[in-house]
């Protein structure tokens, strides 16, 4: 078979798989996969530098399917290119326990680089991956890292606000080696895009500083697609957007260019008619003739050779291998935490300032550290100091990133950095604005991306900025998110322990930090290093270890000091109060039952004290001193007093709780 005919067969087989998988599951999005089958074929067989035998090779090109509803396109390419799928995986598309879920999920399948589906997220992930690639290339040279990031995106990606933020950031940073193909098919779920959108995409991206090229009606022209991709790859100093006019569902005789092709099975008769047009057997489902995977296997040999050459180079050319390996792992060098500062009891320091001291003291021992904030660098503890180089086009190895007022793109690009590998990203903003970043935080948790958030100004104690800036429900909201480690330290020593956990542990960590100064507690200097890792620990026993206390006072963050103060006020009344610092629900829940019972003895009354919503505390406490309304504009100390966060208020609530049991 002539190569041109063989390549067309490859494309048509991908279209057939897209139709059959969606039809078989009676669920999915066939149209985009059918339209972009030629583009995916060209990328994987002619352009992408990848090796299915070593899918996590660090210097591979990266591919992101931002319009993740077209997941069957990616799964088909992974099947045909030898990434460990078999045809049964395609037959089980979108079914319970299958390796081919409705949207691509990183870690579930080799060859899936990021979790996509919520539109715009993959777009922003690509920006983070380009930052990581450029950062590593600047640090270790092109012999170690030198590759491209490719992203397919659609109208929905470009409508979502995160794409505006991320595109602006990418243009400002001058991120080359970043090639996006915009599938301009004019269709969304509701119908034609002109129902909702009249943007000039070309001018928009040109204004961001991107290279933009209109490819036009070449969705089925393999040579033109390759040429366009290679022109985008040639842009070393700015990102590229290639605008491809495709026809969703092509060549379906009755569904091409219709909204039905977007998110519905074509129907058995339409599948039959379309297969006939493509020259595929109409009586065979999931048809893959032997010559198709053989063709891709032959093309994959180029990537294998590139990988083997890279392995030989890195054996002799990478100068500081220990730092390079630490970067790739997103970890510190051996003994890095020995550089953590200690804090003297009785002094006062806001935990946002304590985290900055921890960060700057250890930054030289964490080679992949890249730190930034949403225009709040000095406010959130993310300032690496005057000696830090700012990430920019002219300084690609810069460790300080100014994300601008783009919290959503900050968090989503951090996911891209972490999942690319080679970078441990830290991003800071006010805790209340975690709401702006939340979709990307959720995907970090789902993906178990190793990222760290500094969420500061954590309560009504922040003061005069008032209720718009004072978080109430955010703690409960983030605690409800599976896979996210939320830590609210009580003082500077707990903050240091929390930073060590954030660096050393897998997955995302949110450090929730105070604006106001907090006393460094005498008890934490000895107990915090181990106690924070358990999620909760006893600061003050209340009675000797052999005797049970009368009540347990549970505090987090700035309220732990109130619990200690209340316990001392209750002691002359003959009330023995145990004080428990409870920085992390997630870490505590992971402990063995015996440990949890030792900290919170069954049958003993418990009072939780936290300047946030009471929601959820019924899991651990019989009552709470909390705040279930929005805050107020006043000095922070006055707010805390007016909202009932004083030691006297805790004493009063403890007496009430003990009184209910006496009755």
Q: How far apart are CA 378 and CA 396, in angstroms?
A: 22
Determine phi and psi for 150, rounding to 5 degrees.
-115, 140
Mean pLDDT of the chain: 97
Looking at residue 545, what is its pLDDT? 63
CATH 3.40.50.920 describes domain 531-662: yes
Is 505:368 a contact under the CB 8 Å cutoff?
no
pLDDT value, residue 547 = 82
Q: Which CATH class is domain 336-519?
A: alpha beta
Q: Which residue has the tokens 């978080």?
A: 471
**pLDDT (tens digit per residue) in 279-314:** 999 999 999 999 999 999 999 999 999 999 999 988
With H, G, I as helix, E, B as strand and everything else as coil, classify residue 85: coil
- Sign, Cα dihedral of 255, 260, 262, 268: negative
Kindly tell me if the per-residue pLDDT of 541 is higher than 70. Answer: yes
Which pLDDT belongs to residue 147? 98
Rounded Cα distance between 85 and 559, Å, is: 52
Tokens of 370: 């890249």
Q: Is the pLDDT at 663 greater than 60, yes or no?
A: no
**Both structure tokens of 104:** 């691509």
**Alpha helices by DSSP H, 423-506:** 434-447, 474-479, 492-504
The yes-or-no answer on residue 260 being catalytic is no
Q: What is each CA distance from 637 to 559, 581, 609, in whole angstroms?
A: 12, 21, 16
Question: pLDDT by residue (tens digit) across 307-325?
Answer: 999 999 887 766 688 999 9
| Class of domain 3-306 (CATH, top level) | alpha beta
Radius of gyration of the chain (CA): 28
pLDDT digits (tens, 9 = 90+) for 101-127: 999 999 999 999 999 999 999 999 999
In this prediction, residues 602-612 reach a mean pLDDT of 98
pLDDT digits (tens, 9 = 90+) for 439-456: 999 999 999 999 999 999
Fold agreement (3-306, 531-662):
yes
Q: What's the whole-number mean pLDDT along residues 203-213?
A: 98
Q: pLDDT by residue (tens digit) across 321-363?
A: 899 999 999 999 999 999 999 999 999 999 999 999 999 999 9
SS3 215: strand
Q: CA–CA distance from 304 to each of 29, 44, 63, 142, 253 (Å)?
A: 32, 13, 17, 18, 40
Quote the pLDDT of residue 318.
Answer: 62
Q: How confident is the model at residue 542 (pLDDT cuts 50, 70, 90)?
A: confident
DSSP state of 644: T
Helix axes 291-317, 3-25, angle to 10 degrees: 100
Q: Which of 407, 494, 523, 559 is catalytic?
A: 407
Token readout for 68 is 């993740």
Helices (H), 234-368: 260-263, 268-278, 291-317, 321-329, 351-362
Residue 169 makes CB contacts below 8 A (sequence gap 6+) with 127, 403, 404, 406, 409, 413
Q: What is the pLDDT of residues 144-188, one digit of tens each?
A: 999 999 999 999 999 999 999 999 999 999 999 999 999 999 999
pLDDT band at 546 (very low <50, low <70, confident <90, very high): low
What percentage of the chain exceeds 90 in pLDDT?
97
Measured CA to CA, the distance from residue 77 to residue 412 in angstroms comes to 25
Q: What is the pLDDT of residues 498-533, one digit of tens each?
A: 999 999 999 999 999 999 999 999 999 999 999 999
Q: pLDDT confidence of 660, banded at 50, 70, 90?
A: confident
Instruction: Please check the confidence at residue 544 and state whether its pLDDT lies above 80.
Output: no
261 touches 188 (CB < 8 A): no
Confidence of residue 543 (pLDDT cuts 50, 70, 90): confident
d(CA 329, CA 536): 28
Mean pLDDT of 369-393: 97
Which strands sit side by side in the sheet containing 605-609, from one edge to the other?
A: 537-540, 577-581, 551-555, 605-609, 623-625
Q: What are phi and psi of 584, to 5 degrees?
A: -145, 115
CA nearest 563: which of 656, 490, 489, 642?
Answer: 490
CA angle 491, 492, 493 (to 5 degrees): 95
> Structural domain boundaries of the chain?
3-306, 336-519, 531-662
């Amino acid at each position: 078979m002539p190569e041109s005919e063989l390549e067309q067969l490859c494309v048509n087989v991908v279209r057939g798989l897209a139709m059959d998988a969606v039809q078989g599951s009676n669920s999915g999005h066939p149209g985009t996969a059918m339209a972009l089958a030629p583009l995916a074929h060209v990328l994987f067989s002619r352009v992408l530098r990848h090796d299915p035998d070593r899918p996590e090779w660090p210097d591979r090109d990266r591919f992101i399917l931002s319009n993740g509803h077209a997941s069957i396109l990616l799964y088909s390419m992974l099947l045909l290119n030898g990434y460990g799928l078999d045809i049964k995986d395609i037959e089980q598309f979108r079914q319970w326990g299958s390796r081919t879920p409705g949207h691509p999920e990183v870690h579930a399948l080799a060859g899936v680089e990021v979790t996509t589906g919520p539109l715009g997220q993959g777009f922003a992930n690509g920006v983070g991956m380009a930052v990581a690639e450029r950062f590593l290339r600047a640090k270790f040279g092109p012999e170690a890292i030198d590759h491209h990031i490719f992203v397919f995106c659609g109208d929905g990606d470009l409508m979502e606000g995160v794409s505006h933020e991320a595109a602006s950031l990418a243009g400002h940073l001058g991120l080359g080696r970043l090639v996006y193909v915009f599938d301009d098919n004019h269709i969304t779920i509701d119908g034609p895009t002109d129902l909702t959108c009249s943007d000039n995409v070309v001018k928009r991206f040109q204004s961001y500083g991107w290279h933009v090229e209109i490819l036009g009606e070449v969705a089925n022209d393999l040579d033109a697609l390759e040429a366009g991709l290679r022109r985008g790859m040639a842009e070393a100093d700015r990102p590229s957007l290639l605008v491809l006019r495709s026809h969703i569902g092509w060549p379906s005789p009755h569904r091409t260019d219709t909204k039905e092709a977007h998110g519905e099975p074509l129907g058995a008769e339409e599948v039959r008619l379309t297969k006939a047009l493509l020259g595929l057997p109409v009586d065979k489902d999931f048809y893959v003739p032997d010559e198709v995977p053989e063709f891709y296997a032959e093309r994959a040999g180029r990537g294998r050779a590139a990988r083997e050459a890279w392995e030989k180079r890195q054996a002799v050319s990478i100068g500081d291998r220990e730092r390079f390996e630490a970067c790739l792992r997103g970890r510190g060098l051996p003994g890095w935490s020995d550089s953590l500062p200690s804090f003297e009891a009785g002094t006062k320091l806001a935990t946002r300032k304590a985290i900055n001291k921890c960060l700057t003291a250890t930054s030289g021992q964490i080679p992949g550290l890249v730190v930034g904030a949403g225009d709040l660098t000095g406010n959130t503890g993310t300032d690496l100091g005057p000696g830090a180089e700012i990430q920019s086009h002219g300084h690609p190895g810069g460790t300080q990133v100014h994300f601008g007022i783009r919290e959503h793109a900050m968090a989503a690009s951090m996911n891209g950095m972490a999942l690319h590998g080679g970078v441990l990203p830290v991003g800071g903003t006010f805790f209340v604005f975690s709401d702006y970043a939340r979709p990307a935080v959720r995907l970090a948790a789902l993906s178990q991306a190793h990222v760290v958030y500094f969420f500061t100004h954590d309560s009504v104690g922040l003061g005069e900025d008032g209720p718009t800036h004072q978080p109430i429900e955010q703690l409960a909201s983030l605690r409800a998110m599976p896979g996210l480690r939320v830590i609210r330290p009580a003082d500077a020593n707990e903050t240091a322990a929390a930073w060590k956990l954030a660096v050393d542990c897998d997955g995302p960590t949110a450090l929730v930090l105070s604006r106001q100064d907090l006393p460094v507690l005498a008890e934490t200097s000895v107990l915090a290093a181990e106690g924070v890792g358990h999620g909760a620990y006893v600061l003050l026993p209340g009675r000797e270890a052999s005797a049970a206390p009368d009540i347990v006072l549970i505090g987090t963050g700035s309220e732990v000091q109130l619990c200690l103060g209340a316990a001392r006020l209750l002691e002359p009344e003959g009330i023995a109060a145990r004080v428990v610092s409870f920085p992390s629900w997630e870490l505590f829940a992971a402990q063995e039952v015996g440990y949890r019972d030792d900290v919170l003895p069954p049958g003993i009354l418990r009072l939780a004290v936290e300047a946030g919503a009471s929601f959820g505390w019924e899991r651990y406490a019989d009552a709470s001193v909390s705040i279930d309304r929005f805050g107020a504009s006043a000095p922070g100390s006055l707010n805390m007093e007016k909202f009932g966060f004083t030691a006297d208020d805790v004493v009063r609530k403890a007496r009430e709780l003990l009184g209910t049991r006496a009755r």
